[in-house]
Copies of this chain bind each other. A is one copy, B any other.
Amino acid sequence: MDFFSDEYYMKMALAEAEEALMQNEVPIGAVIVLNDKIIGRGHNLTQNLHDVSAHAEMQAITAAANFLGAKYLNDCTLYVTLEPCIMCAGAIAWAQMGKVVWAATDPKKGFSLTNYPILHPKTIVKKGVLAAESESILKKFFAQKRRNL
């Protein structure tokens, strides 16, 4: 795997998803990259924070914007291990994210279900990067949940 490739940064997002898994959260992770540098990270924390908005992407966006002291992320790329939901897609649109790369698709809650152009028209989208790795972590989580029922 090349450094600074989409696969490389998706691995970093998958490491964030592992962090969520260790905290008994649906394992989803995200990183935001600017000029080959990670400037924002996040993993799903909705259960632990009792906050529906504590998705990986939302936290990474807030972190990156804090780092830059600016709310627009036109030159940044967001890597996230699952297709963003409608809420996160809305935030990605507001941030005018330069590029979004996701791993697994989300057939139940993914924003593309709306068939509405939610993202900013200039945002580049790439799908399916390390999708199998992301699905494997998600499956591990839900299998574990079922065992504990």
Binding site for B on A (CB under 8 A): 46-47, 50-53, 58, 61-62, 65-66, 68-72, 85-91, 93-95, 113-116, 118
Contacts and interface: CB of A to CB of B under 8 A. Distances in A.
Nearest to A95: B52
Given A50-B71, A52-B65, 7 more contacts: A47-B71, A51-B61, A52-B72, A87-B87, A87-B91, A114-B116, A114-B118
Contacts of A85: 90, 94
Contact of A46 (B71, B88, B89, B93): B71
B90 A88 contact: yes
A53 B86 contact: no
Contact of A118 (B53, B69, B86, B95): B86
A79 to B, nearest CB: 18
A58 B50 contact: no
A93 B111 CA distance: 13
A51 B62 contact: yes
B53 A61 contact: yes
A63 to B, nearest CB: 10
B50 A94 contact: no
Contact of A65 (B51, B62, B90): B51
A55 to B, nearest CB: 9
A42 B52 CA distance: 16
A93 to B, nearest CB: 7
